Amino acid sequence: MESVHAHWAGAFDVVQDVEGWQEFRRLDTELLMPPFTDGLADMAQMTAGVRATWTASSGRLTLKAEGTADCSPIDVLVDGQLAHRIAAAGRLSHTLELGTLPAGAKVQLWLPQFGRVRVLHASLQGEDVQSVQESGKRWLAYGSSITHCREAAGPSETWPALVARKLGWELQSLGFAGECQLDPAAARTIQRLPADVISLCLGINSYNAAAFSLRSYASQVLGFISNILTAHPDVPLVVITPVLSLPREATPNAVGATLADYREATAGVVAHLQRQSGEARIHLVDGGAVLTEAEALAHMPDTLHPDNAGYRLMAERLGPRLAAAAANGPKD
C-alpha cells in the first residue's frame, strides 16, 4: 500500500525545522514591523484554511502534531462529510482507520482555524492513494475574527470553508482576529498570491480599536483596494461591509465614529472607485444585511461574533453573492 505525505494548501509559506516539524505562515512577513505588528504575526501563524487533500479507495491516516492550549480541533472529511474531529491541544499522535472507501474518495485534513499548531507527520496510506492539487477558483478571503471564525465548531465549518467546499473553490483564508487593519503585509500578501476572486471584509476591527478616524479610514481603504486592483487587474473583488453588531451600530468609539459610520465609509470608497475610476469589477455587499437583527440576537452570544449556526447562515447568504461576482467578473 502506498503512503503519501500531506501536500498543504491554504498557507502562504510552510517552514520546516531540522527535526522535521512544519509550521505555517498565512502572510508574507517582509512588511511586518516588530513589535508593532506582533499581534498580526501571531494570527498569521494560525492555520485557518490550511488543509491537505488526497484521493483513495481505502485509507489509514497518520498524524503527529502539537497544538497550543487554545487550539481549535482538526477535522477529517471523507467526500465532504465530517468523519473525525480530533482535539488538537497538546502533543498528539493519531492513526485513523478510514477503511474501504468509494473508488476515488476524497479525504481532506483541515488544520485548526485558531491556535498555533505544528505538524511532524501527516500522511495517508492505502489503496490508490494520490495527493490532490486543488484546481477550483482561487479565492483570497481577507477579514477580521468574523472571517477567522474561532467560534466555528471546527475548521471545516468556518463560513469561508463552507462556501469554498460548496463552490469547489481553493480557499486562502486571510482572516486575522482583531488584526484586520489594512496592513501593508496583508496587502502585499494579496498582491503576491494568485487569485480568481478576492473578498475583503472591512471595518469592524477599525471601529473596535478606533484605529482610524473616518477621514483616515476612507483613505486607508482606498489605498488598500487600489493596490490590490493594480496587482490583479482582471480579478473580481467583493468588498463586504461590517456585519451587524447591535450595540455598536450607533455607539461612537474613541474617535467619535459608529459602526454604521464605518459601514457607510466603506461603501463610499467602493462607490468612488466604481464611479470615478471606472472600476466596475468591484462588487459591494452590505454586511449589515447579511444577518437580521433577530438572527444577530440569537446567534451572536457576545454581540460581535457569530456562533456555529451564525457562520452557517453567513455562508448561505454570502456564498451566492461571491459566486455571482466570480461568474460575472466585471459588471457591465
Q: Is the pLDDT of residue 197 over 70?
A: yes
Inter-CA distances, 152 with 98, 158, 193, Å: 25, 5, 26
CA-CA distance, 179 to 185, in Å (whole number)?
11
Q: Is the pLDDT of residue 138 over 50?
A: yes
CA-CA distance, 304 to 293, in Å (whole number)?
12
> Rounded to the nearest 5°, which phi and psi values hold at 55?
-120, 150
CA-CA distance, 108 to 329, in Å (whole number)?
30
Residue type, position 217, single letter: Y
What per-residue confidence (pLDDT) applies to 330? 46
CA-CA distance, 32 to 44, in Å (whole number)?
11
Note the pLDDT tens digit of each residue in 35-83.
999 999 999 999 999 999 999 999 999 999 999 999 999 999 999 999 9
Other C-beta atoms lying within 10 Å of the C-beta of residue 262: 26
What per-residue confidence (pLDDT) applies to 331? 41
pTM summary value: 0.95
DSSP-assigned beta bridge partners for residue 170: 138
Confidence of residue 316 (pLDDT cuts 50, 70, 90): very high
Determine contact, residues 332/274, Cβ cutoff 8 Å: no
Determine contact, residues 238/322, Cβ cutoff 8 Å: yes
Confidence of residue 329 (pLDDT cuts 50, 70, 90): low
Note the pLDDT tens digit of each residue in 263-314.
999 999 999 999 987 778 999 999 999 999 999 999 999 999 999 999 999 9
In the chain the domains, ranked by start, together with CATH numbers, are 2-131 (2.60.120.260), 138-328 (3.40.50.1110)
Note the pLDDT tens digit of each residue in 224-268.
999 999 999 999 999 999 999 999 999 999 999 999 999 999 999
CA-CA distance, 295 to 210, in Å (whole number)?
26
Residue type, position 188, single letter: R
Note the pLDDT tens digit of each residue in 160-192.
999 999 999 999 999 999 999 999 999 999 999
Instruction: Share the mean pLDDT of the chain.
Output: 96
Residue 182: all three cell numbers together: 489594512
Q: Is the pLDDT of residue 94 over 90?
A: yes
